[in-house]
Structure 1
């Protein structure tokens, strides 16, 4: 019986492909252990777009997306600097900063980050608004056995988490492409219309592994979704009541 219980625990945490459409990840505790490890469909790419939606009330620094490699702990990182109210985009340990954002707590935010190795240009889209393109001299493929983690920021390849940088809140619709997404496609994503799913990470066919206390819950309406299909959301709430 003891062996069976242990086996069931291991299976429940093993990486598996799931359709998370209509679902969200809930990070309910401040910890330096709880995280979700994502398995990319491609491991060497010369360009990237990462999109996700997040909801938090944190008033400190926190990680939003962390990809490390054997060469760089910040192979591709999206990080919020609370002190300076800046979103930081890191590619191969080089950083672009985006300040002056209306990053309200207890609000759904949609973020998309693009990068191209050919031009070295990186850009952040914040709630559908494009910000300035910055140049980073990291002009080689994202590769070298990448590890992608949600909930924690990697200070080494797959580890060295800092509890003061962990994410606390909800996250959904995580997608990654191996090319720079067009403005039209990003707008479709932000508005939750039909868009081309990620070919590196696809929320509707995601291989992932949960470590410690991270929960999968039903997705709540985002702000952009409510503005477009508000009556549908309200009718669903009415039916639940």
Structure 2
């Protein structure tokens, strides 16, 4: 009886586990990338972009976290700048945020923006930055491709999520996945030296 009980508990534990994929870039590179195929055209008047990031690349260097480009422009880019600030670009000059440096410990990072007000903000591990007004009235254009860097758990919504929803996401609570990019189902095209690591995590 005890043996059966143990086996039953193991089976239940396995059924309640979820597989999480992470993209690992084993060495410093400027040629390896992963292309994500969106579920719908990126014609965005607002967005929330979230990801989990970690890196041991420090010092004065730029790192691309996320890049979406059409034939004409870099429509939506998230960067770490030479001076350590985080920034994102919407087809032009960037908006900058001075926040703690991302290191080897995984950080949950979100970027939000709304065209009607121009309100832009960053969230790091559930904590919100000050709000800046940026590119009011702009629209992110469709028809491009998206590439990602040393990250995982990437989701993109075509709306600004509430502060509470972003905080719940960071703390591991269940929230709706992205309706433009859903990390669980979005097709990934891998280029160069990139390893996809799958880990089992309990729900």
Q: TM-score range by the shorter chain?
A: 0.7 to 0.9
TM-score normalised by structure 1 residue count: 0.70
Q: 1:31 corresponds to which residue?
A: 29
Task: Give the CA deviation at 1:184.
Answer: 1.2
Unaligned segments of structure 2, at least 5 residues = 1-17
Task: Give the CA deviation at 1:82.
Answer: 3.9
Task: Give the CA deviation at 1:32.
Answer: 2.4
- CA-based RMSD of the aligned residues comes to 1.9
Q: Deviations over 1:122-166 (max 9, x none)?
A: 111112111111112252321141211012xxxxxxxxxxxxxxx
1:81-100 equivalences in 2 (<5 Å):
81-83=81-83, 85-99=84-98
Q: 2:184 corresponds to which residue?
A: 204
Q: 2:6 corresponds to which residue?
A: none
1:123-162 equivalences in 2 (<5 Å):
123-151=121-149
TM-score normalised by structure 2 residue count: 0.83
Q: 2:14 corresponds to which residue?
A: none
Q: Deviations over 1:166-198 (max 9, x none)?
A: xxxx52210000000111110111112101100
Query: In structure 1, what is the Cα distance between the partners aligned to 2:57 and 2:90?
Result: 24
Query: In structure 2, what is the Cα distance between the partners aligned to 1:182 and 1:172?
Result: 21
Show structure 1 runs of 4+ deviating over 3 A. none
Instruction: Choose between structure 1 and 2: higher strand proportion.
Output: 2
SS in 1 for 2:88: strand
Query: In structure 2, what is the Cα distance between the partners aligned to 1:198 and 1:144?
Result: 17
Unaligned segments of structure 1, at least 5 residues = 1-19, 152-169, 222-231, 233-241
Q: 1:189 corresponds to which residue?
A: 169
